[in-house]
Structure 1
Amino acid sequence: MTRMTAMPPLQHIRAGVLDIAHVDAGPRDGPPVVLMHGFPYDIHAYAEVLPRLVAAGCRVVVPCLRGFGPTRFLHADTPRSGEQAALGADLLALLDALAIPRAVLAGYDWGGRGACVVAALWPERCRGLLSFNSYNIQAIAKAMVPDTPENERSLWYQYYFHSERGRAGLAQDRRALCRLLWRTWSPTWAFDDAAFDRSAAAFDNPDFVDVVIHSYRHRFGLVPGDPALAGIEARLALQPAITVPTLTFDGADDGVRPPAPASQHAHRFSGPRVHAVVPGVGHNMPQEVPALFADAVLRLVRGEVV
C-alpha cells in the first residue's frame, strides 16, 4: 500500500445553493489559492500539493464539488445541474462566502472548467489561472460536430451517460466504472487500491449520479440547464477570452484529452500564457506529479507569468 498524506479536516460553509465541504489550510493572510478537483476524482488529488503550498505561505482552499463528498445542496428543489455555469457559479460563491477577493485558481477536468469560467467572466477575482487541458470552456453549440474516430472512441463514457442504460450503469456500480476511467485516462499512473478507495468514497454523495448525468447530457445540448444559470451560459456561449496570467498543461499520456500544441487554443488567451506538455502524465496531473503542479501554482502566486 502506498503511503498517503492525510488531508486536513473538512470545514463547511454555505455558499450560493450549496453547503460546501472544503479544506481551508495555511495562514489566513497568505496569498489565497483555490484547488479544484475533477470527475471522477476528489480533493485527495491535492493531498501532496497542499502541504507544499502551505509551506510556501499560501492559504489553500480545496472544495468538494457539487455531487461529491459531503457537499450538499441546501434545497431539495434546486436542479442537480452539472453544467459548466454551475461549476463557475459555485466557485464564485465560495470566494464570496470566504471573503476572498482574489485568488490563484488551479484545476483540471471539471474543476479546471470552473476555474476557467471564473477567470474568463470575473477576471478581477482571479490572480492567475492554472488550467490542465488549456481552454476548458465548452462550446456547446458545436458539440454535435464529429471529432476524429480515435478521439470519439475515448469519449465512449459520455455517450454511455446519454442513455438511461448509462445512468443505470453508473448508479449500479459507480466505483467500478470510475476506476476504469482512472485506469484508461492515466495509463502510466501506478495508483493502488488504497488511493482509489480514498477518493471513491466521495462518489457516494446522494447527488453524484444526477449531477454527473446532467453534466454529460447538457454539454451536448441534450437537456436544458438550470434556468438560474442561463445568463452565465449565454456569456460562455460567446467563448470569452481569458485575460489573466495563465499556465496551461496537457499530459503526454492523457487517455481522454490528447495533448495539443499551444497554438490550438492560443486565440482563447489574450493575456500572458505559457503552455507545456508534461511527459509521463495522464489526466490527473496534481496527483501524478504533485511537485510539478505545486511549483506551477507558486509561479502564479509569485507573479512570474507575465
Structure 2
Amino acid sequence: MTATVRAGVLDVAYEAHGPEQGTPVVLLHGFPYDVHAYDAVAPLLAGRGCRVLVPYLRGYGPTRFVSRHTPRSGQQAALGHDLLAFLDALGISRALLAGYDWGGRAAGILAALWPQRVAALVIADGYPIQDIAAASQPADPQAEWRYWYQYYFHSERGRAGLAANRQALCRLLWELWSPTWRFDAATFERSAAAFDNPDFVEVVIHSYRHRYGLAEGDPAYEDSERALQAQPRIEVPTTVLAGGDDGVSSLRGGALEAPHFGAAYHYEAIADCGHNIPQEQPQAFAGAILQRLGLA
C-alpha cells in the first residue's frame, strides 16, 4: 500500500507492509534506485510481524517538496533530517533502520545524531558519513575511476546529461555497479519511473557537488553538517553489509570500518552481489535485519 505523509519540508510517499502494531522497520533506497529495491525484502519482514515502511527519498517518485522556495538540497544532513521528520510524522519513537547508498547515509546520520531513535542499524558500504573537509584529497586510482559519474555531475555538461539521459545514464550505473546481477528491462523500468520526479536532477546534482565542497548547503542544516564533520562514531548496534562484486564501493573489510562503530558491530561480505544488495540478495539483507531483531 502506498501512502503520503507531511514530514517536515516534504510530502513523503511511502509503502507500508505488515501489521500496524508490528516492530517498526524503515527501509531506505539509494541513488539511482527507488522503493522497488525492497520488493522481495519487505514481505519477508512483514511475514515475521514487522511494520515495514519504505519511503521515496527527496527527489524520487511521488515524494514532493511542500514549498517551491525550499532549496532542492541533496546534502547528507538533509537526508538525515528527512528521515527524522518521517519518523515524527508517523509517531514512531524508535525503529530499526536499514539502507544502502543514500539510504544508508540517512540511516547512519540518524543513528549518529539521534541514537535514541534507532533500535539497530543495517547498512551497506561501511561508515556512511561524508568527510567533506577531506573530500579534495585524492583516493587510490582504482577508487577514483569508479567515481567518474560524480565528477561528471560537477560540470554543467553533467547536469545537462543527467536531465537529458536520466534513464540511460542510471541504467548504465546499475550495470557497472552490479556486474553479476542479470536484471531485466521491466525491473529497471519499475524503478526508473521514480527518476521522473521534477526535483530529481537538482537534488542529485546538489548531492554530488555538496559532498566535495563545491556547492553551499541549505542553512537549515548547518548545525547538523557541523556535527557530522566531527565524523561521530555510531554507537547503536550495527551490521555493515558489503557486496563482493560491488562496482563502485571498494570492499574495505570489517577491521577498517570498526573504529567508526561502537558496541555490537558486525561486518559481512556477501558473495555474488554488487551494489544493490537488497534487490540482488534479498534473503541476506532481510536475514541481517531479522538477526538484529532477534527473529532469525
TM-score (normalised: structure 1) = 0.96
Report how far residue 262 of structure 1 moved.
0.8
1:247 is aligned to 2:242: no
Residue segments in structure 2 that go unaligned for 5+ positions in a row: none
User: Structure 2 residue aligned with 1:290, among 278, 282, 293?
Assistant: 282
Report how far residue 25 of structure 1 moved.
1.7
- Name the aligned partner's letter for residue 238 of structure 2: T
Q: Per-residue CA shift, 1:92-144, capped at 9, x if unaligned? A: 00000000000000000000000000011101000000010111110000001
- Name the aligned partner's letter for residue 283 of structure 1: H
Residue segments in structure 1 that go unaligned for 5+ positions in a row: 1-8
Indicate the SS of the match to 1:129.
strand
Structure-2 separation of matches of 1:101 and 1:23: 19
Report how far residue 303 of structure 1 moved.
7.9
- Name the aligned partner's letter for residue 170 of structure 1: L
User: Structure 1 residue aligned with 2:118, among 126, 146, 152?
Assistant: 126
Q: Map 1:173-252; keep pairs closer than 5 Å.
A: 173-252=165-244
- Name the aligned partner's letter for residue 214 of structure 1: H
Structure-1 separation of matches of 2:264 and 2:295: 11
Report how far residue 296 of structure 1 moved.
0.7
Structure-2 separation of matches of 1:75 and 1:213: 20
Structure-1 separation of matches of 2:194 and 2:288: 27
Structure-2 separation of matches of 1:270 and 1:234: 21
User: Structure 1 residue aligned with 2:266, among 274, 279, 285?
Assistant: 274
- Name the aligned partner's letter for residue 202 of structure 1: A
- Name the aligned partner's letter for residue 80 of structure 1: R
- Name the aligned partner's letter for residue 138 of structure 2: P
Hey, what does 2:127 align to over in structure 1? 135
Hey, what does 1:56 align to over in structure 2? 48
Structure-2 separation of matches of 1:259 and 1:167: 29
4+ runs deviating over 4 angstroms: none
1:101 is aligned to 2:93: yes
1:21 is aligned to 2:3: no
Hey, what does 2:254 align to over in structure 1? 262
Structure-2 separation of matches of 1:44 and 1:118: 23
RMSD between aligned residues: 0.9
Query: 2:25–2:98: 8 Å Cα contact kept in structure 1?
Result: yes
Report how far residue 266 of structure 1 moved.
1.1
Structure-1 separation of matches of 2:232 and 2:23: 26
Query: 1:174–1:203: 8 Å Cα contact kept in structure 2?
Result: yes
Paired residues, number: 296
Percent pairwise identity: 58
Structure-2 separation of matches of 1:142 and 1:264: 18
Query: 1:252–1:258: 8 Å Cα contact kept in structure 2?
Result: no
Q: Per-residue CA shift, 1:41-90, capped at 9, x if unaligned? A: 00000000000000000000000000000000000000000000011000
